[in-house]
Structure 1
Amino acid sequence: MGFSYTVAAVIMLSSTLIFFGIVYTSYVQSNENLANANQKLVKNIYDLENTRVSIYDYYYNSSSSYFVINLTNNGSQVFNMSLANVLVNGSLVKFNVSGQFLFPLQTVSITFKEPAGSYAVEIVMPDGYEIFKKVVS
């Protein structure tokens, strides 16, 4: 009888160690994931707080049916304009931009083809910053 108690105790002790080893590694992994998510959140908040892009001018070219919107970056972020989006009345449109990157204190022109009229234009920068403008040709 003494040997069976010893074997049972060894089995219980080893299974307890294995269980707590699995729980510990899961705990460490989840804490690391939370820390990484928190760092990304802080970076995104920093980027949004330092973004100052504004529309300073727009016009309609009636001969080619193109709207031209001029943007100025007054913040400290650099934007890859190929990752930006332009929505006209809520629909995504294809657009051309005068430069691939929008550096601080720089101006770029965005052009898109629409017939003459009144439109609600939204420009969404790669970090999520949005600019709204009602444009009329």
Structure 2
Amino acid sequence: MEKQKTVMGLILLLFVSGVSAWTGEIHGRVVCDVCGDSSLGPEDHVVEGAEVAVLCITRSGEVLNYQAFTDAKGIYTVAETMPESDRWDACLARPISSFHEQCTQLGEGSLGVKFSYNHPSGYSHNVRTFVYRPTSVPTYCI
């Protein structure tokens, strides 16, 4: 609720000052690949509480660093409202850590994702899924 008030206050401030506002969103998922087979199956599950960092460079050259945690559905979200002239230009999303008991090893290809952010205001960018694996594969996977 507090974040919503802050965002609404920023939008109001931008509107009153005559600057056109731009809003963007980045989201993605974090899952546990239980068998470590690089394919998502019924034994795999989302990772709640995983930490993800999102670093964005704005059109004006400012570097913004965001920290997000996954919810009960394994989804993290970063959102921002700012003047159109300062909107995101390019971003890097990368997993930081998994607090899951068994699934703590970063899977192949999950080091990070760089992308251009060229969406108009109000749209979002979906980052491919980040994968963690257990330190030891359960016997039912072998």
Alignment TM-score, normalising by the size of structure 1: 0.35
* Structure having greater relative contact order (Cα 8 Å, sep ≥ 6): 2
Q: What's the TM-score, normalizing by structure 2?
A: 0.35
- In terms of fraction of residues, the more helix-rich structure is 1
Larger radius of gyration: 1
